[in-house]
């Protein structure tokens, strides 16, 4: 079969799978549906952060910040600019437009954050992105036209299972496709050895900014989906903890393995929900679930830091970081 | 003018607490080159140790300063031991691993302390009121500027601990070993220094300062809960970076600067931006001078 | 920008280093160093450990910006430009402590060399329209051709980190060649090799120079290698150039002997 067509067949297959699943999802309860949609949104977040943290080897701890920019921009656009939509056709159309607005706003934020901070490395970059995320949150808390700390309410519920997962299929398609090209290998080169990549003519700064902006764009779209699903968004929905959650999905998924990251996003979204209803020896785990979650994280780092599906281990980067002097 | 001076006094008293926490960040960074994300939560535990120790100690020691000092010591020792335990169980096995693995582990510890603290069988998620350790008296200085007895206690304790730390680091054998390890761990180990002991000691020292900071914070702002460590922890971290992480004098300076900047912002701009200003400072310093105010510049060797 | 393998008079100066000094804080790593490399030349840079040889490479390739001095490549000033720009200008290098991309395959390591030629950037890589397919096929073909020339074609799909030490060194050279350089800098290419591998390496370096028409400068401690293939040798000691000339001249220079053997040589 032609190599030109094959990727599109994957794309078509992915969409077909989503359509079939959509029929099945119609039959489950609304509580479970909510979990499934949250899983999908988290998958988009994790796959997009994986471009930055996994493929490009940077360490962003502010993904929730970009998500919030997308959520607020798209929600504001829907509630303040677009007219009300009644039929599913225009609802879908309006959602797409609002998501693009949210994605672009987040991409601009990604550019503003990325350009100055990408000179920093490792935990310093992590801290700066964390700081930016917190600043975005504090600003949102103080903008009264966006609802302040109480949040923005009455966002039309345009997001459906179908939209979330179709968009996920496209995000995976884009990232997996780009990463296989000669251009896309540049991201991996930056991760593996920045100095060697530069010496080979790769503009590493440019790559890092692109990864940041594209990652932020998709995070913004995920934020838009979140806003149009929950109808109410608050600055605290996008705190430091949300960023940590997404980072953990990427690490657990193996840093740079898209499918591992997708699986980890599903598992980590479902785990706390499952613990919520889990009882053993008469002890209700719902109280302990977040303690268990954090313990799992610690044990994982001790036992299997390369993630459950780690193709790329941290080793390469540690070696690169350690052998600092070129002679 | 008097309002300004009042803000300075309030800022310095808050800053003294940040400085104590920042010292822990900076010392641990100094020897291990990593950011102990759980430090703010060790601080939180310190406040609870004080909270639970007070009713036990008060009948023995009465209402005076004796109880206050005992509560302070209890929190310091408790936090010190907690810090040593965390290092022993979670960080030591990862010492040769990449820094990011350790950073994630530290975040895991931080979350674990926060969530476990919120369990009803541990501290509970609700706010608790920290007991009054010393009678609150307000002294008017001049032109309407006043200082409370709590603030005086904060200054006295913080400055005494900083002086003591200086003596330990500069004058004692273990302090010399700490400095040696922070300069070059391998060389220090070749010179016969027991690295593990030095690191444990550093964690004990840094965490006990956080414990002291916690008691001082709790008598200044008596509402405590398991999430109380997050913001002071982050701000103290910013203070450490501002002063030049790894630099002890820098952490002290940074603490006072951050405390003052925060109260000034709250007083003159808007209380809702008091957190944002701190992160703004962090970003500016990291972009303009990542080595901090007192940190050594030096070109990064590629 | 054309950095192709163009033909020109062999005596023309390719690289001109004019009085460069590199200071790190109080330490002067290289002091008032000048040298030239002619087109198609094969020259050596030698000196005791810590003499500043790699610092010279790092200045040429833009890792460091010289504190003072000029570096001109093909009549254009390159001092202070970014490493990737200097790579685009036509200078490639290898590293003393091999720096391959460990998690990429051998062929992807080489393919990175074509990265700068890829006209399809992010958007182009998503849609993959027009000449995309042809472009990628060209890169694949050229990668395979290069690997074949160096006898590495059968290892093209192996991860770089799984290669033997000798193969890693060779892949690093092939990767550098993929950027189509006019000047190749080799930092201790023979380090860790046995005598057989060393003689193979010497043949390889000569072949590179002759078949691709490039100039090569190499840092090397093994005097057999340096004396065996270099037409001209420059000697650094404590950051200062103490001698320059044919291998014979340099070998007999008393200052060089002293630098290598120390005061006891008197």
Mean pLDDT of C50-68: 92
Find residues 128-187 of chain C whose CB sits inside 8 Å of chain A.
128, 133, 135-136, 139, 161, 175-176, 178-179, 187
Residue C246 lies in a domain: yes
pLDDT greater at residue B289 or residue A262: A262
Best of C23, C25, C187 to mutate (most B CBs within 10 Å, chain B): C25
Q: To 5 degrees, how large is the angle CA C209–CA C213–CA C215?
A: 60
What percent of chain C clears pLDDT 70, i.e. is strictly above it? 94
Mean pLDDT of B210-214: 97
From residue C100, alpha-carbon distances to B14, C81, C160, C219 in Å are: 50, 23, 7, 19
Label residue B133 by pLDDT band (50, 70, 90): confident
CA distance A131 to B143: 39
Beta bridge partners of C183: C91, C215
CA distance C129 to C132: 6
pLDDT tens digit sequence for C169-220 = 999 999 999 999 999 999 999 988 889 989 999 999 999 999 999 999 999 9
Q: C157 and C170 share a domain?
A: no
Q: In 10 A of CB B45, how many CB atoms?
A: 25
CATH code, C254: 3.40.50.300
Contact criterion met (CB below 8 Å) for A242 and A112: no
Q: Along the 327 residues of chain A, how does pLDDT read in single tens digits?
A: 456 677 788 888 888 888 888 888 877 888 888 999 999 999 999 999 999 999 999 989 899 999 999 999 999 999 998 888 778 888 889 999 999 999 999 999 999 988 887 777 777 788 888 888 888 988 898 888 898 889 999 999 998 999 999 999 999 999 998 998 889 999 999 999 999 999 999 999 999 999 999 999 999 999 999 999 999 999 999 988 899 889 989 988 887 889 999 999 999 898 878 877 777 666 666 777 788 888 888 888 888 777 766 554 443 343 333 333 443
pLDDT value of position C235: 92
From residue B286, alpha-carbon distances to A128, B118, B281, B282 in Å are: 7, 34, 8, 6
With 0-12 CB in 10 A as exposed, 13-18 as middle and 19+ as buried, what is B264? middle
Residue A182 lies in a domain: yes
- Any idea which of A306-320, B91-105, B211-225 has the lowest mean pLDDT? A306-320
From residue B196, alpha-carbon distances to A168, A259, B23, B265 in Å are: 47, 40, 20, 42
Q: Does residue B299 have a pLDDT over 50?
A: no
Residue C195 lies in a domain: yes
CA distance C220 to C162: 25
The pair of three-digit structure tokens given for residue C14, joined into one six-digit string: 């390719």
Q: C92 and C173 share a domain?
A: yes
Residue A34 lies in a domain: yes
pLDDT value of position C8: 47
Contacts of residue A199 in chain C, CB cutoff 8 Å? 61, 63, 83-84, 87, 92-93, 95, 99, 176
Mean pLDDT of B179-195: 90
Q: C28 and C80 share a domain?
A: yes
Label residue C266 by pLDDT band (50, 70, 90): very low
Mean pLDDT of C227-251: 90
ipTM of this complex: 0.88
Render B2-21 in DSSP notation, one character per residue. HHHHHHHHHHHHHHHHHHHH
CA distance A321 to B300: 12
Best of A189, A192, A201, A210 to mutate (most C CBs within 10 Å, chain C): A201
DSSP B47: H
Q: Does residue B72 have a pLDDT over 80?
A: yes
Distance from CA of A34 to the nearest CA of C (A): 31
Mean pLDDT of B225-232: 93
Residue A293 lies in a domain: no
Beta bridge partners of C92: C184
Distance from CA of B298 to the nearest CA of C (A): 7
Comparing alpha-carbon positions, the chain A residue that sits nearest to B33 is: A123
The residue range of the domain holding C224 is 13-100+166-265
Q: C173 and C232 share a domain?
A: yes
CA distance C126 to C134: 15
Contact criterion met (CB below 8 Å) for B302 and B295: no
Q: C121 and C189 share a domain?
A: no
Q: C246 and C175 share a domain?
A: yes
Q: Which chains touch B (3 or more CB pairs under 8 A)?
A: A, C
Q: Does residue C264 have a pLDDT over 50?
A: no
pLDDT value of position A319: 39
Whether residue A199 and residue C61 make contact (CB cut-off 8 A), yes or no, is: yes
Q: C33 and C127 share a domain?
A: no
Q: C157 and C246 share a domain?
A: no
Average pLDDT, chain B: 90
CA distance B179 to C167: 43
Residue A286 lies in a domain: no
Nearest-CA neighbor of A164 among A12, A33, A306? A33
pLDDT value of position C251: 85
CA distance A223 to A75: 9
pLDDT value of position A172: 94
What is the helix, strand, coil percentage profile of chain C, to 5? 40, 25, 35
With 0-12 CB in 10 A as exposed, 13-18 as middle and 19+ as buried, what is C171? buried
pLDDT value of position B112: 94
Contact criterion met (CB below 8 Å) for C72 and C18: yes
DSSP A54: I
With 0-12 CB in 10 A as exposed, 13-18 as middle and 19+ as buried, what is C242? middle
CB neighbour list of residue B11: distance below 8 Å, 6 or more residues apart: B256, B259, B260, B261, B262, B263, B264
Residue A256 lies in a domain: no
Strands (E), chain A: 279-280, 283-284
Split into its structural domains, chain C has a count of 2
Label residue C91 by pLDDT band (50, 70, 90): very high
Contacts of residue B301 in chain C, CB cutoff 8 Å? 24
Overall residue count recorded for chain A in this entry = 327
Q: C151 and C187 share a domain?
A: no
pLDDT value of position C34: 92
pLDDT greater at residue A42 or residue B234: A42
Distance from CA of C25 to the nearest CA of A (A): 16
Q: How many CA atoms lie within 13 A of B68 on its CB side?
A: 17
pLDDT value of position B60: 87
Report H helices in chain B.
Answer: 2-32, 39-61, 65-86, 99-118, 149-171, 173-183, 185-190, 195-220, 230-243, 248-264, 274-288
Q: Does residue B205 have a pLDDT over 70?
A: yes
Q: Which residue has the tokens 């120790």?
A: B53
Whether residue B302 and residue C24 make contact (CB cut-off 8 A), yes or no, is: no
Render C147-194 in DSSP notation, one character per residue. HHHTT-GGGTTSBGGGS-HHHHHHHHHHHHHHT--SEEEEESTTTT--
pLDDT tens digit sequence for B15-42 = 999 999 999 999 998 888 888 989 999 9
3-class DSSP state for residue B140?
A: strand
Class of domain B2-288: mainly alpha
CA distance A126 to C6: 46
CA distance A182 to C108: 8
Comparing alpha-carbon positions, the chain C residue that sits nearest to B298 is: C25
From residue B208, alpha-carbon distances to A154, A251, B46, B115, B244 in Å are: 49, 32, 8, 22, 21
Q: C73 and C121 share a domain?
A: no
H helix count then E strand count, chain C: 10, 10
What percent of chain B clears pLDDT 70, i.e. is strictly above it? 97
- Any idea which of A125-129, B171-175, B262-266, C61-65 has the lowest mean pLDDT? A125-129
Q: Does residue B152 have a pLDDT over 80?
A: yes
Nearest-CA neighbor of C155 among C219, C214, C110, C118? C110
Range ranked top by mean pLDDT from A9-23, A301-315, C59-73, C131-145: C59-73
Q: C257 and C178 share a domain?
A: yes
Split into its structural domains, chain A has a count of 1
Q: Which residue has the tokens 């519920």?
A: A157
With 0-12 CB in 10 A as exposed, 13-18 as middle and 19+ as buried, what is A127? buried
First to last CA, chain C: 53
Q: C85 and C138 share a domain?
A: no
């Amino acid at each position: 079969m032609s190599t030109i067509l094959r990727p599109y067949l994957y794309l078509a297959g992915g969409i077909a799978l989503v359509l079939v699943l959509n029929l099945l999802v119609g039959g489950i309860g609304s509580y479970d549906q909510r979990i499934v949609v949250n899983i999908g949104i988290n998958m988009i977040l994790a796959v997009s952060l994986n471009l930055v943290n996994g493929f490009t080897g940077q360490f962003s701890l502010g993904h929730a910040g970009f998500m919030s920019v997308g959520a607020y921009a798209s929600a504001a656009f829907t509630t303040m600019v677009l007219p009300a939509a009644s039929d599913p056709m225009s609802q879908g159309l309006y959602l797409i437009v609002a998501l693009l607005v949210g994605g672009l706003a987040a991409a601009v934020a990604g550019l503003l954050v990325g350009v100055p901070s990408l000179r920093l490395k490792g935990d310093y970059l992590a801290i700066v992105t964390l700081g930016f995320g917190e600043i975005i949150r504090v600003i949102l808390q103080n903008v009264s036209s966006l609802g302040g700390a109480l949040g923005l309410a009455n966002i039309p519920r345009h997001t459906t299972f179908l939209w979330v997962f179709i968009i996920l299929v496209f995000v995976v398609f884009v990232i997996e496709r780009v990463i296989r090209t000669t251009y896309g290998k540049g991201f991996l080169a930056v991760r593996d050895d920045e100095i060697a990549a530069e010496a080979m003519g790769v503009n590493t700064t440019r790559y890092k900014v692109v990864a940041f902006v594209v990652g932020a764009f998709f995070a913004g779209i995920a934020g838009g989906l979140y806003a149009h699903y929950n109808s109410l968004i608050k600055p605290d929905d996008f705190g430091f903890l949300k960023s940590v959650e997404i980072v953990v999905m990427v690490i657990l998924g193996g840093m740079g393995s898209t499918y591992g990251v997708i699986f980890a996003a599903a598992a980590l979204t479902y785990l706390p929900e499952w613990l919520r209803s889990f009882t053993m020896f008469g002890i209700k785990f719902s109280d302990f679930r977040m303690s268990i979650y954090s313990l799992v994280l610690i044990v994982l780092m001790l036992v299997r830091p390369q993630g459950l599906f780690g193709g790329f281990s941290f080793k390469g980067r540690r070696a690169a970081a350690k052998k600092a002097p070129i002679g | 003018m008097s309002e300004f001076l009042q803000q300075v006094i309030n800022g310095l008293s808050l800053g003294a607490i940040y400085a104590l926490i920042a010292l822990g960040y900076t010392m641990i960074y100094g020897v291990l080159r990593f950011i102990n994300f759980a430090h703010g939560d060790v601080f939180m535990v310190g406040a609870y140790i004080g909270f639970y120790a007070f009713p036990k100690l008060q009948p023995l020691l009465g209402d005076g300063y004796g109880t206050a000092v005992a509560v302070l010591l209890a929190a310091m020792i408790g936090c010190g031991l907690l810090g040593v335990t965390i290092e022993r169980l979670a960080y030591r096995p990862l010492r040769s691993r990449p820094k990011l693995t350790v950073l994630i582990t530290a975040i895991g510890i931080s979350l674990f302390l926060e969530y476990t603290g919120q369990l009803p069988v541990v501290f509970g998620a609700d706010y608790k009121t920290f007991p009054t350790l010393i009678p609150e008296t307000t002294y008017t200085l001049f032109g309407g500027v006043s200082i409370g007895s709590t603030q005086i206690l904060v200054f006295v304790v913080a400055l005494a601990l900083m002086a003591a730390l200086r003596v330990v680091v500069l004058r004692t054998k273990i302090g010399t070993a700490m400095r040696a390890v922070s300069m070059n761990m391998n060389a220090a180990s070749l010179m016969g220094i027991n690295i593990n002991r030095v690191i444990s000691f550093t964690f004990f020292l840094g965490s006990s300062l956080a414990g002291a900071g916690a008691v001082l914070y709790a008598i200044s702002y008596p509402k405590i809960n398991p999430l109380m460590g997050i913001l002071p922890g982050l701000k103290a971290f910013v203070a450490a970076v501002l002063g030049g992480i790894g630099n002890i004098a820098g952490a002290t300076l940074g603490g006072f600067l951050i405390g003052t900047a925060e109260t000034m912002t709250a007083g003159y701009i808007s209380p809702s931006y008091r957190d944002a200003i701190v992160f703004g400072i962090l970003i500016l310093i990291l972009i303009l001078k990542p080595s901090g105010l007192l940190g050594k510049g030096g070109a990064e060797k590629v | 920008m054309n950095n192709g393998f163009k033909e020109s008079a062999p005596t023309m100066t390719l690289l001109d280093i004019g009085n460069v000094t590199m200071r790190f804080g109080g330490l002067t790593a290289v002091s008032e160093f000048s040298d030239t490399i002619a087109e198609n030349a094969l020259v050596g840079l030698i000196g005791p450990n810590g003499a500043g040889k790699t610092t010279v490479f790092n200045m040429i390739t833009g890792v460091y910006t010289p504190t003072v001095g000029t570096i001109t490549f093909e009549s254009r000033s390159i001092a202070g430009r970014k490493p990737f720009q200097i790579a685009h200008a036509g200078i490639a290098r290898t590293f003393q402590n091999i720096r391959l991309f460990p998690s990429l395959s051998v062929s992807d390591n080489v393919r990175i060399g074509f990265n700068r030629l890829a006209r399809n950037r992010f958007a182009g890589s998503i849609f993959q329209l027009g000449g995309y397919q042809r472009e990628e096929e060209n890169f694949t073909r050229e990668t395979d051709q290069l690997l074949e020339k160096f006898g590495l074609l059968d290892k093209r799909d192996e991860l770089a980190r799984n290669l033997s030490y000798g193969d890693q060194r060779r892949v690093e050279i092939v990767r550098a060649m993929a950027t189509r350089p006019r000047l190749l800098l080799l930092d201790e290419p023979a380090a860790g090799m046995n005598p057989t591998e060393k003689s193979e390496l010497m043949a390889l370096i000569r072949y590179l120079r002759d078949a691709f028409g490039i100039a090569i400068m190499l840092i090397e401690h093994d005097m057999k290698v340096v004396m065996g293939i270099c037409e001209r040798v420059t000697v650094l000691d404590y950051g200062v150039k103490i001698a320059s000339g044919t291998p014979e001249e340099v070998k007999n220079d008393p200052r060089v002997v002293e630098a290598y053997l120390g005061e006891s040589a008197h």
